Amino acid sequence: MYFTDRGIEELAGRRGDDEVSLAWLAEQLSTFVDLNPEFETPIERLATWLARLDDEDE
């Protein structure tokens, strides 16, 4: 188990039944980066990965 799995498991446990829009998620990610600019690169990579999940070229 990776260290980050604990946070993912907590998210699933606490919010797993919630339904959110991608616009809401994008807003939360932007707020997180505003508060924690040192995480800009990993959040950008995550957002790009999520945005391109359906791309057949990759």
What are the residue ranges spanned by the domains of the chain?
Answer: 19-58
User: What is the mean pLDDT of the segment spanning 7-13?
Assistant: 91
| 48 — pLDDT class (breaks 50, 70, 90) | very high
pTM of the entire predicted model:
0.78
Cα Dmax for the chain: 35
Give the C-alpha separation, 46 to 29, whole Å. 10
Name the DSSP letter for residue 21.
-
Residue 38 to residue 43: CA distance in whole angstroms? 10
Packing angle, helices 22-35 and 40-51, rounded to 10: 170
